[in-house]
Structure 1
Amino acid sequence: MSNVVNIAAYKFVPLDELPVLRAEMLARAQAAELKGTILLAEEGINLFLAGTATGIESWLQWLQSDPRFAELEVKYSFSDHVPFRKMLVKIKREIIRMNHPAIQPRAGRAPAVAPTTLARWLEQGQDDEGRPIVMLDTRNAFEVDEGTFEGAIDWRIDRFTQFPEAVLANRGSLEGKTVVSFCTGGIRCEKAAIFMAEAGIDHVYQLDGGILKYFEETGGRGFKGNCFVFDERVALDPSLAPTAEPGEASQ
C-alpha cells in the first residue's frame, strides 16, 4: 500500500507580512517532515506537499486554524515514495503568473462546474440549456501531450502568460458555446475563466478542482491519457496512481 500522502491546494486570498508567513510555514512543514513547495503572494497560496499521513494532517490542521485558510480545498493522492527532495517556501509576485494584475480571483470566483456535472454534460453532448460544450485546456503544450479531455481545444501555449493573447485571437470560435476551462488543480483555469468573462465571452465555467478533482470524483470519464504533475511522479492516471516511482526524488 502506498504510504506517502501527496496534497495539492491553492486559494486566492489577500495575504500580508509574507516574510513572516513564509518563515512560519517553513518551520511548521519541516517539523512535520514534509517536502514540496509552497508559493505565497499577496493574492494567495499555492502548495504541493508530501509526507506521512500524520505529518500532512498535523500541518493542515495548523494551517486551517488560520481563518484565511480555513476553507482551503485539498486534493489528495498517494505514492510509494516522496516525489520531492526539498521543502521550499517561496514568495512570488503571483501564485500563478499571468501578467494581468487586473485579474483578481479573490474579488470573486468565476462560475464553476462540478466534476460530476461536467461528466454528465460530456456524455449528453451539451449543457443543461442545450449549448454545445467546448473544453479549453489552459495548460502548457508539454502538459497537454501527457493527456487531455477528448476533443479539447489546445492552443499549444508554452507558458500561461501567453493564454490571454490566445483567447483574444480565438474569441470568435468560442461564442455561442459553453466554455469549460480546465487545468491540473484549478488555479490556472480559475484565472483563465475570469479573463475570458472580462473579455466578453459568455457562458464560461472553470472545472472546479481541475483535472485532479475530476479524476477523484469521476474516474476520468472522457479524459484520454494521464495528468502531468510537476514532480517526479511525472503524471497521475485517472485512478490518481503515479506513472513513475523514482525511489529517489530529485525535485
Structure 2
Amino acid sequence: MYTVAAYYRFFAVADPLALRDELRAAFLDTDLLGTTLIAPEGINGTMAGSAATIDRLLDFLKERTGLERAEVKFSTSETPPFRRLKIKRKREIITFNTAAVDPTRPGQYVAPAEWNQLLADPEVLLLDTRNTYESEIGTFEGAVAPPLNTFSDFAEYVRTNLDATKHRKVAMFCTGGIRCEKASAYMLQHGFPEVYHLKGGILRYLEEVPVEESQWKGECYVFDERVAVGHKDYKG
C-alpha cells in the first residue's frame, strides 16, 4: 500500500537549486515516487511511498520549508501512482504566465466543514479554477467552469468576463488548493472585494465531508496513475 501525500507552500525560497539538490540527495535511493517542484515562490508536490518514507519526507520538508503536516492531503493507492521520482527547479510552482500576482496575499480560506454553507449563499459566484478536462468529470453543484486550457487562461477569463462591482462575492476551488490560492490572490489584487477559496481543495473536502452531505458531483481528476478519485478513496 502506497501513502500519497499532496502538498504546497508559498514562501520565499532563497536558493531553489540548493533545496532541489538536497531533496534529491536525501531520497534518490528510497522508494519515493512522484514530482516536487521548487521555485522562488515556494514548493509544490505530490509524492508516494511507504508510510515510513512519507513520514521522513514530511519531517524533511517541515525542517527545510516550514510545511506543516496538517496542510498535507493524504490518500492511499494499492499500485504505484507514479513511475519515477522527479524533483525540479521551476520559475513558478504554479504557472500564471501573463499576470503578476503576489501569492502570499490570498483570499479567505474556507474549511471543508463550512464550504456547503458558503455555497448556499445565492450571492456567491462559485468558480472552478481547474482545466476544462478536469471539470468535465466532476465539480461542485452550481459551479461555473471557465473554458480553461491551462491555468494561465484564468486571468484573461477574469478580465473579460467578470466585474468587481457586480461579482462582489466569489468562491473558488481546485484539486489541492494551490491554483485557487493563487487565483484568489489575483482577484483580490484586482479589486474584487470578497474572495474565498476551499482550504485544502477538493481532496481535503472528499477526505473530511461525509458523502451524504457532499455537494461534490462526479470524480476528481488527479495527476497520477489513478487518474481520478472520489469519496470512496477516503474511507478514513
| Counterpart secondary structure, 2:28 | helix
Aligned to 2:226: 233
TM-score by length of 2: 0.92
Cα distance in 2 for residues equivalent to 1:13 and 1:115: 24
Aligned to 1:166: 157
Q: Structure 1's 58 and 104: CA in aligned 2 closer, same or farther, altered over 3 A?
A: same
| Counterpart secondary structure, 2:46 | strand
Find out whether 1:38 has 2:31 as its counterpart. no
| Counterpart secondary structure, 2:60 | helix
Structure 1 vs Structure 2: percent identity of aligned residues?
41
Work out whether residues 164 and 192 of structure 2, in 8 Å CA contact, stay in contact via their aligned partners in 1: no
Aligned amino acid, residue 233 of structure 2: L
Aligned amino acid, residue 35 of structure 1: L
| Counterpart secondary structure, 1:231 | coil
Q: Structure 1's 81 and 177: CA in aligned 2 closer, same or farther, altered over 3 A?
A: same
Aligned amino acid, residue 216 of structure 1: E
Measured against aligned partners, the alpha-carbon deviations of 1:76-102 in whole angstroms (never above 9, x if no partner) come to 001101111110001111000002563
Find out whether 1:113 has 2:110 as its counterpart. yes
Work out whether residues 164 and 191 of structure 2, in 8 Å CA contact, stay in contact via their aligned partners in 1: no
Ranges in structure 2 where 5+ consecutive residues have no aligned partner: none
Aligned to 1:8: 6
Aligned amino acid, residue 118 of structure 2: W
Work out whether residues 35 and 86 of structure 2, in 8 Å CA contact, stay in contact via their aligned partners in 1: yes
Find out whether 1:210 has 2:201 as its counterpart. yes
Aligned to 2:26: 28
The alpha-carbon deviation at position 32 of structure 1 amounts to: 3.5
The alpha-carbon deviation at position 200 of structure 1 amounts to: 1.5
Cα distance in 2 for residues equivalent to 1:217 and 1:155: 26
Find out whether 1:222 has 2:215 as its counterpart. yes
Q: Structure 1's 22 and 203: CA in aligned 2 closer, same or farther, altered over 3 A?
A: same
Measured against aligned partners, the alpha-carbon deviations of 1:196-246 in whole angstroms (never above 9, x if no partner) come to 1122122111111111111111136111101100111000112336xxxxx
Aligned CA RMSD, in angstroms, stands at 2.0
- Aligned pairs, number: 232
TM-score by length of 1: 0.86
Cα distance in 2 for residues equivalent to 1:25 and 1:48: 14
Aligned to 1:138: 129
Ranges in structure 1 where 5+ consecutive residues have no aligned partner: 242-251
| Counterpart secondary structure, 2:191 | coil
